[in-house]
Structure 1
Amino acid sequence: MRLIIAEKPSLARAIAEALPGRSQRQEGYLQVGDTRVSWCLGHLLEQASPDAYDPAYKQWRLDHLPILPEPWRLTPRPKARAQLAVLRRLLKEAREVVHAGDPDREGQLLVQEVIEHLGWKGPVARLLISDLNRPAVERALGRLEDNAAYQALYRAAETRARADWLYGINLTRAWTLVGRQAGHDGVLSVGRVQTPVLGLVVRRDAEIAAFQPRPFHVLWADLQVAGGQLRAWWQPGEAHPLDDQGRLLARLPAEALAARLPGAEGQLVALQTQDKRQAAPLPYSLSALQVDAARRYKLPAKAVLDICQRLYERHQLITYPRSDCRYLPREHHALAPRTLAGACQGDATLGQWLAGADLSRRSRAWDDAKVGAHHALAPTGRAPDFSRLDDAEARVYRLVVRNVLAQFYPPLETREVKAEFRILDERFRAQGSELKVAGWKPLFTTREETPPLPPLVEGETARALDARVEDRETRPPEPFNDASLIKAMMNIARYVSDPAVKRTLRDSDGLGTEATRAGIIETLVERGYLVRDKSSLRASRTGHALINALPEAASRPERTALWEQRLAAIAERDEAPAPFLSALVDDLRRLLNAADAQTLRQTLAASQAIEAPTPSPRRATQGRRGSAGKRGGKGSKTSNRRASTPRTTGGRARRAKGDA
Structure 2
Amino acid sequence: MIQELYNDKSGRDLADNLHYCKNIHTLNSCGADMRLIIAEKPSLARAIADALPGSTRREEGALHAGDTVVTWCLGHLLEQAPPDAYDPAYKQWRLDHLPILPERWKLAPRPKARGQLAAIRRLLKSAREVVHAGDPDREGQLLVQEVIEHLGWKGPVSRLLVSDLNRPAVARALTRLEDNSRYHALYRAAESRARADWLYGINLTRAWTLTGRQAGHDGVLSVGRVQTPVLGLVVRRDAEIRDFVPYPFHVLWVDIAVSGGQLRAWWQPAETQRLDEQGRLLERPPAEALAARLPGAEGHLASLDARQKRQAAPLPYSLSALQVDAARRFGLSAKGVLDICQRLYERHKLITYPRSDCRYLPEDHLAQARRTLESACHSDATLQQWFAGADFTLRSKAWNDKKVGAHHALSPTGKPADLGRLEKAEADVFRLIARNVLAQFYPALETREVKAEFVILDERFRASGQVLLQPGWKPLFTTRDEAPPLPPLSEGEACRVTDCAVEDRETRPPEPFTDASLIKAMMNIARYVDDPAVRRTLREHDGLGTEATRAGIIETLLERGYLVRCNKALRATRLGSGLIASLPEAASRPERTALWEQRLGAIAEQDADPAPFMTSLIADLQALLASADAARLRSAMAEARGEAGPTVSASRGRSSGKPRRSRSRAAPTRKRRTS
Q: Same fold (TM over 0.5)?
A: yes
Shift of 1:239: 2.2
Q: Does 1:217 align with 2:268?
A: no
Shift of 1:609: 3.0
2:99 pairs, out of 66, 71, 79, with 66
Moved over 4 A (4+): none
Structure 2 counterpart of 1:634? none
Matched AA of 1:382:
K
Structure 2 counterpart of 1:653? none
Shift of 1:284: 0.3
Counterpart Cα distance in 1 of 2:257 and 2:307: 23
Matched AA of 2:353:
Y
Structure 1 counterpart of 2:398? 365
1:288 pairs, out of 321, 332, 346, with 321
Q: Does 1:258 align with 2:283?
A: no
More moved, 446-455 vs 12-21: 446-455
Deviation string for 1:264-302 (max 9, x for gaps)?
A: 111111100000000000000000000101111111111
Higher relative contact order (Cα pairs below 8 Å, separated by 6+ residues) = 1
Shift of 1:582: 1.4
Q: TM-score, normalised by structure 1?
A: 0.92
> Which ranges in structure 2 are unaligned for 5 or more consecutive residues?
1-33, 644-675
Which SS does the other structure have where 1:230 is aligned?
strand
2:529 pairs, out of 471, 485, 496, with 496
Structure 1 counterpart of 2:77? 44
Q: Does 1:410 align with 2:466?
A: no
Structure 2 counterpart of 1:614? none
Q: Does 1:422 align with 2:422?
A: no
Structure 1 counterpart of 2:225? 192
Counterpart Cα distance in 1 of 2:621 and 2:276: 45
Counterpart Cα distance in 2 of 1:76 and 1:243: 61
Counterpart Cα distance in 1 of 2:514 and 2:462: 34
Structure 1 counterpart of 2:159? 126
Q: Does 1:104 align with 2:145?
A: no
Counterpart Cα distance in 2 of 1:135 and 1:60: 53
Structure 1 counterpart of 2:363? 330
1:107-506, aligned counterparts within 5 Å?
Answer: 107-506=140-539
Contact 2:229-2:587 within 8 A present in 1 as well: yes
Matched AA of 2:344:
L
Deviation string for 1:615-647 (max 9, x for gaps)?
A: xxxxxxxxxxxxxxxxxxxxxxxxxxxxxxxxx
Structure 2 counterpart of 1:620? none
Structure 2 counterpart of 1:33? 66
Contact 2:232-2:588 within 8 A present in 1 as well: yes
Counterpart Cα distance in 2 of 1:95 and 1:240: 83
Shift of 1:11: 0.4
Q: TM-score, normalised by structure 2?
A: 0.90
Counterpart Cα distance in 2 of 1:549 and 1:131: 46
Which SS does the other structure have where 2:317 is aligned?
coil
Shift of 1:387: 3.2
Counterpart Cα distance in 2 of 1:345 and 1:67: 58
Matched AA of 1:349:
T
Which SS does the other structure have where 1:162 is aligned?
helix
Counterpart Cα distance in 1 of 2:94 and 2:483: 62
Deviation string for 1:441-485 (max 9, x for gaps)?
A: 000012133221011011111111111111100111111111111
> Which ranges in structure 1 are unaligned for 5 or more consecutive residues?
611-660
Contact 2:98-2:203 within 8 A present in 1 as well: yes
Q: Does 1:579 align with 2:612?
A: yes
Q: Does 1:80 align with 2:103?
A: no
Contact 2:64-2:70 within 8 A present in 1 as well: yes
Matched AA of 1:315:
H
Structure 2 counterpart of 1:593? 626
1:530 pairs, out of 550, 555, 563, with 563
Counterpart Cα distance in 1 of 2:146 and 2:470: 54
Counterpart Cα distance in 1 of 2:258 and 2:235: 51
Shift of 1:384: 1.0
Count of equivalent residues: 610
More moved, 157-166 vs 239-248: 239-248
1:577-656, aligned counterparts within 5 Å?
Answer: 577-609=610-642
Deviation string for 1:86-138 (max 9, x for gaps)?
A: 11111111111100000000000000111111111101000000011111111
Counterpart Cα distance in 2 of 1:374 and 1:359: 24
Matched AA of 1:562:
L
Structure 2 counterpart of 1:626? none
More moved, 447-456 vs 434-443: 447-456
Q: Does 1:553 align with 2:586?
A: yes
Which SS does the other structure have where 2:125 is aligned?
helix
Contact 2:359-2:410 within 8 A present in 1 as well: yes
Deviation string for 1:360-382 (max 9, x for gaps)?
A: 11000000000000000000001
Shift of 1:258: 1.6
Matched AA of 2:154:
K
Structure 1 counterpart of 2:576? 543
Counterpart Cα distance in 2 of 1:240 and 1:111: 67
Counterpart Cα distance in 2 of 1:238 and 1:590: 49
Which SS does the other structure have where 1:154 is aligned?
helix
Shift of 1:574: 1.0
Counterpart Cα distance in 2 of 1:502 and 1:128: 34
Matched AA of 2:263:
L
Shift of 1:153: 0.5
Which SS does the other structure have where 1:609 is aligned?
coil
Counterpart Cα distance in 1 of 2:537 and 2:518: 21
2:125 pairs, out of 84, 92, 106, with 92
Counterpart Cα distance in 2 of 1:127 and 1:235: 63
Matched AA of 1:246:
G
Matched AA of 1:319:
T
Counterpart Cα distance in 1 of 2:326 and 2:600: 30
Which SS does the other structure have where 1:95 is aligned?
strand
Which SS does the other structure have where 2:48 is aligned?
helix
Structure 2 counterpart of 1:22? 55
Deviation string for 1:391-431 (max 9, x for gaps)?
A: 11100000000000000000000000000011111111000
Counterpart Cα distance in 1 of 2:616 and 2:273: 55
Contact 2:380-2:418 within 8 A present in 1 as well: no
Counterpart Cα distance in 1 of 2:81 and 2:197: 13
More moved, 366-375 vs 177-186: 177-186
Counterpart Cα distance in 1 of 2:205 and 2:454: 62
